[in-house]
Homo-oligomer: A and B are copies of this chain.
Amino acid sequence: MAGSRSWAEGVLQLLGRMNSFHTLQGSSKPVCKQFCVGGQAVGVVQPRMLPLLRGYPEVFQITNGHVELRDHLRTFQQRSTALEQVLRDWRERGLFNCLSKWRNEEYPVMSRFCDPPLMNIERAAVGLFGVRSYGVHLNGFVRHDDGRMSMWIGRRTIQKETYPGRLDNLVAGGIPASLGVMETLLKECQEEACIPDSIARNARPAGTISYTYEDDAGIFPECQFVYDLEVPVDFRPEVGDGEVLEFYLWSLEQVIELLPGSEFKPNCAMVVLDFAIRHGLLHADNERHYQQLVEGLHREL
């Protein structure tokens, strides 16, 4: 039950895993090198990558503290092309499982979200260079007359490459190189849940969650822009592009119960936790780990 010891421990474990790059004993954080492009730090590289990178001296310069894209790669296009060639080479050589899931989606590479992108990188490869990726997640909720809330939750199809069959927010998606945040949200609302712009435009920005996890596939600093959309009681999302198996409308208490454990895709559980905190369902007097829960949602790289 929310507020119980085991609920809190389960959620803190989830936050720990999602921040494993910072918190886990044995994280490669202390031994990583910064990945720099055009003099700006845009990612982190694990030591296991260095022997491989040394095979491309025309692309990478490795110094004591840094891995840098060579200075002669000056333009956005030159950098993107050079890195893509390296990645395709690795893929052909059968290196890195993640590259077998090449998505043909370009993610922009920059030091901060507000900076002009320095280059693009194939989405499947961001973890190899610890490049931060950005997404948008939507809490779709219903407010009942008695003040209680229900939340729309999606279940991912079994065919999804990542987290098949897990629970998800009403709508979520990565922000590609070409789109703004609200643009991405409107597009995903349409594609994933058949929510027309007329409704989706009522989504209200409500902050971000930030975290960095490390696993066998690499280092993943991520920032998700969070939106809330209050929908009428009679609203029904519909399965769109086949990323979602079905949608459920559950009481918020019921959803919160499911946050620990493995029902949810982990970052979607974080988005619901953030919603529960912002809307006052958890607070310092009923959840003793409240402060850690809030802080676990907002860790800088």
Contacts and interface: CB of A to CB of B under 8 A. Distances in A.
Contacts of A291: 112-114, 208, 210, 223
A284 to B, nearest CB: 4
A29 to B, nearest CB: 15
Interface string A39-76: 00000000000000000000000000000000000000
Contacts of A282: 205
Contact of A114 (B207, B280, B292, B299): B292
Given A206-B280, A277-B206, A300-B295, A114 B182 contact: no
A112 B292 contact: yes
B206 A278 contact: yes
A278 B114 contact: no
A294 interface: yes
Interface residues of A, number: 33
Contacts of A208: 284, 290-291, 294-295
A210 B289 CA distance: 14
Nearest to A280: B204
Nearest to A292: B112
A181 B113 CA distance: 35
A205 B112 contact: no
Interface in A262-288: 277-280, 282-285, 288
Nearest to A114: B288
Contacts of A297: 298
Contacts of A289: 112, 114
A35 interface: no
A210 B180 CA distance: 29
Interface string A181-222: 110000000000000000000001111101000000000000
A247 interface: no
A113 B284 contact: yes
Nearest to A277: B207
6 contacts: A113-B291, A180-B285, A181-B284, A205-B277, A225-B284, A295-B298
